Structure 1
Amino acid sequence: MKKLKFICLAAFAFLYANTTFAQDKAATNYDQGFRLGFGLNGGIPTDNDYEWSLGGDVRLQYDLSKRTSLTLTTGFTNLFMGRDDLGNNVKDLGFIPAKAGFKAFVWEDQFYVLGEVGAGFAVTNGYDKTTFLWAPGIGYANKYIDLSVRYEDYHDFKTNQVALRVAYGFDL
């Protein structure tokens, strides 16, 4: 009886150690690398200063693991005409965002959460401001397509928006 217990215990220990080793081996074999994505963005500002937004972006992503990545995003966004609190027309505001972020896949390696922070540099219609911006979002990505929704706040531009991003991405 003691031999049977010893054999069962040894078999359990062997299987447990083998499973643990296999998981560690799989984690170290993941190919870290870069991805590049080109996206189109459309948004609705949540205040009354602007009516809508449209833009394009380029995102460089470095995969730390299968589920986590670092991102750098830039492009151009234009907030289209609206009215201020007094009813006066507000000129369009075009700016270049420069953001760094962290992306974490949370469900089935396709659904993710993303947080980005950075600056927005105004470049149109005589605006001469740079603003802090932050943008949390959620999305879905597969090997080539990336769809996401984000909230984006532009502190010194005194506005924010909810935006949809549709992008095509690929490995470098």
Structure 2
Amino acid sequence: MKNLQNIRILFVAAIAMLSVTTASAQSTEIENYDQKFKLGFGVSAGIPTDGDDYDWALGGDVRLQYDLSKRTSLTLTTGFTNLFVGNDAPDLGFIPAKAGFKAFFWEDQFYAMGEIGAGFAVTNGYNETSILWAPSIGYAGKHIDVSLRYEDYNKFKTNQIGLRIAYGFEL
């Protein structure tokens, strides 16, 4: 468990350093960048990385993104995720609400993103609210966004590695 905690700290530190490096590189860009909103609709699937609390996850989401510059964005994400639990136990469905920061680091298409928020359990008698955090890496083209993320839920006693595929467009 101590090793997992150390890995989490290193991963968050790496994303923070990447964000600082990306932000310092912004000073050489054109200052009159046309800031804009983007909207994306995604589906994601995940598998647990510890324990036997659930077998797999499936979800859908909506993400609003505001571009601060050509290489940095703020995000708000919500949707629905279902954790499929084995052993005839009821599945856990929850609504995530996350805020995040996205930094593009290569070719203005590859990015690292960190999100933090809450997951509100809404199905099968569960009424926990969990803090969740999710670092991710991904690729974003003009309309397609594919990312791989680690997502941790403290009250749901689990975490996952998830793959998200999304379609997005400018507003």
* Structure 2 length-normalised TM: 0.81
1:30-49 deviations in Å (ceiling 9; x for gaps): 11010000000001012311
Per the alignment, residue 48 of structure 1 pairs with: 52
| Rounded Cα–Cα distance in structure 2 between residues aligned with 1:139 and 1:28 | 26
RMSD (Å) for aligned C-alpha atoms: 1.6
User: Does 2:157 match 1:153?
Assistant: no
Which consecutive segments of 4 or more residues in structure 1 shift more than 6 A?
none
| AA partner of residue 135 (structure 1) | A
Q: Would the aligned equivalents of 1:44 and 1:51 in 2 still touch at CA under 8 Å? A: yes
Residue 28 of structure 1: CA displacement? 2.2
What is the rounded CA distance, in whole Å, between the counterparts of 1:134 and 1:25 in structure 2? 32
Unaligned runs of 5+ in 1: 1-22, 84-88
Name which one, 1 or 2, has greater alpha-carbon Rg: 1
Q: Once structures 1 and 2 are overlaid, which stretch shifts more, 110-119 or 40-49? A: 40-49
Structure 2 partner of 1:168: 167
Calculate percent identity across the aligned residue pairs: 74
Distance in 2 between residues matched to 1:75 and 1:122, nearest whole Å:
12
Does residue 103 of structure 2 align to residue 104 of structure 1? yes
- The answer to whether the Cα contact below 8 Å between 1:99 and 1:116 also exists between their aligned partners in 2 is yes
Unpaired stretches in structure 2, ≥5 consecutive residues? 1-25
TM-score normalised per structure 1: 0.81
Aligned residues between the structures:
145
Match of 1:35 in 2: 38
For residues 115-161 of structure 1, the C-alpha deviation after alignment (integer angstroms, 9 at most, x for no partner) is 00000000000001100000000000011000000000000010111
What residue in structure 1 maps to residue 72 of structure 2?
68
